[in-house]
Structure 1
Amino acid sequence: MAVPARGTWLDEIAAARHGLGRSSTAARVADLLREQITDGRLVPGERLPEEDLCRAAKVSRNTMREAFRLLVQERLLVHEFNRGVFVRRVTADGLADLYRVRRILECEGVRCAASAGPEALGRVGAAVEDGERAAASGDWPGVGTADIRFHQAIAALVGSPRVDEMTRHLLAEMRLVFHEMGSPREFHEPYLARNRRIYDLLAAGAADEAERELRAYLNDAETQLTTAYKEPE
């Protein structure tokens, strides 16, 4: 899998710095870095250049280190003594726990779909369409990003800001897991139709069937990813 050029994601950090004054600066920098992970631009094992990031975001080293600390707590980064800060690689045990929590949050989202309203359900459909468009253009990393948005939208059907926050953090970790798969197309392509199926069931009010589909989907994905983790060992 090709590693995105450093300049690309640093440029995006620099372009977004205008929003830093509107919230806690360290938290906002952490948000920007998390977005780069969620969108697949920062990959496991990549070292984060502190000085370059400080220049791009126009923040102090103390602010950047606080942002790093927040993301270490979220299991997205790891600090290695005398080496620096790196994007974390999710372990096989961590993968199992991610899916354990995802089943709780996303299946509850499906159960809440009937009361979520058309706008929330529309976001699920929009993520499905984004994935289908990305696949049609051959943008398989883009399909991965759309898949993350799909699952965020599923969990968001709960209507809880706390669930939304937990899901953002969990799915940023999931994007790191996706990099374990050698071919984005081989991994993501079979799930496009399954995303469509789940959305169509929700739109038709068939929540029970949608939940069964989602559980089978998550079970299959976990098995596939666990196999990929075990193969190098």
Structure 2
Amino acid sequence: MTDAGLALEELAADRALLGRTSTAERVASILRDRIAQGLFHPGVRLSEERIGGALGVSRNTLREAFRLLTHERLLVHRLNRGTFVRRLTEADILDIYRVRHLIECAAIRGLGTPPHRLDEVAAAVRSGEEAAAKGDWKDLGTANIRFHRAIAGLAQSTRTDDMMRAVLAELRLAFHVMDDPRRFYEPYLSRNREILTALDSGDTERAERLLGFYLEDSRRQLVEAYPDRPAEDD
């Protein structure tokens, strides 16, 4: 058999692995979104049997998805105990906000000459205002996350988008253990609108300055109110 034939034979053997990997990535994406939405709360043990049955995937595929999310710091595996949704520490929160500041402020700073494409940012602001009008604080939280993803999306970078999605999903783990979500989202609704207004007028320096103060206030508020809990269950 020629070298080319051997290469094709090896690729054929890899075909099954490729299928499993892509399925695991899709499962990880579903679980990532559900964790971010609060379906699985920090500290909860994830049942392989029940989740695998609900999604109709094999245990091996599910374990690979768990491994991917563990790498993203959304899950933690404990020997002989299973896989759990992580509880964040104060150090985690500080690091998340450090990364957010780097990404979001840089996205605004890198904008060129206006007009800018602000459709996603504007849609997120409107969604937040509609959720607040209905008193739906969970949806307001989701809209707020969407706003910050849209801000990062101004960089028009797939890699930045992927990084921001993971960072914000991890941040939601902190908000899920707070007692009063309205308190942590409602005050920032008008500030989202203010940032959008500055961007729409082409004043990116003001928008970046507003966002920097916003992130600092949010970080401080979250750290001060965060429950004094261990990162992992004993």
In which range does the TM-score fall when normalised by the shorter chain?
0.7 to 0.9
The whole-number CA distance in structure 1 between the counterparts of 2:31 and 2:180 is: 24
The whole-number CA distance in structure 1 between the counterparts of 2:114 and 2:157 is: 11
SS of the residue aligned with 2:118? helix
* Matched residue, 2:139: 142
| Structure 1 residues not aligned, in runs of 5+ | 1-20
Pairing 1:163–2:160 present: yes
User: Taking structure 1 as the reference length, what is the TM-score of the superposition?
Assistant: 0.86
Cα deviations across residues 151-178 of structure 1 (Å, max 9, x unaligned)? 0000010011000000000000111111
Match of 1:72 among 70, 73, 79: 70
Match of 2:103 among 86, 94, 105: 105
Match of 1:179 among 162, 176, 184: 176
SS of the residue aligned with 1:85? strand
Pairing 1:124–2:129 present: no
* Matched residue, 2:211: 214
Cα deviations across residues 65-122 of structure 1 (Å, max 9, x unaligned)? 000000000000011222211110111111111011100100011123446975x411
Match of 1:54 among 52, 55, 67: 52
SS of the residue aligned with 1:95? helix
Query: Does the CA-based 8 Å contact 1:26-1:67 persist in structure 2?
Result: yes
**C-alpha spacing 1:150/1:23, structure 2 compared with 1 (3 Å):** farther
C-alpha deviation, 1:231, in angstroms: 5.6
**C-alpha spacing 1:186/1:109, structure 2 compared with 1 (3 Å):** same
Q: Report which of the two structures shows the higher radius of gyration computed on alpha carbons.
A: 2
Q: Percent identity?
A: 54
Match of 2:61 among 55, 60, 63: 63
Query: Does the CA-based 8 Å contact 2:115-2:200 persist in structure 1?
Result: no
User: Taking structure 2 as the reference length, what is the TM-score of the superposition?
Assistant: 0.85
* Matched residue, 2:90: 92
Query: Does the CA-based 8 Å contact 1:48-1:84 persist in structure 2?
Result: yes
RMSD, aligned CA? 2.0
The whole-number CA distance in structure 1 between the counterparts of 2:55 and 2:183 is: 36
The whole-number CA distance in structure 2 between the counterparts of 1:188 and 1:31 is: 25
Query: Does the CA-based 8 Å contact 1:113-1:158 persist in structure 2?
Result: yes
Query: Does the CA-based 8 Å contact 2:111-2:204 persist in structure 1?
Result: yes
Pairing 1:36–2:34 present: yes
The whole-number CA distance in structure 2 between the counterparts of 1:44 and 1:230 is: 12
The whole-number CA distance in structure 1 between the counterparts of 2:45 and 2:179 is: 21
Name the aligned partner's letter for residue 30 of structure 2: L
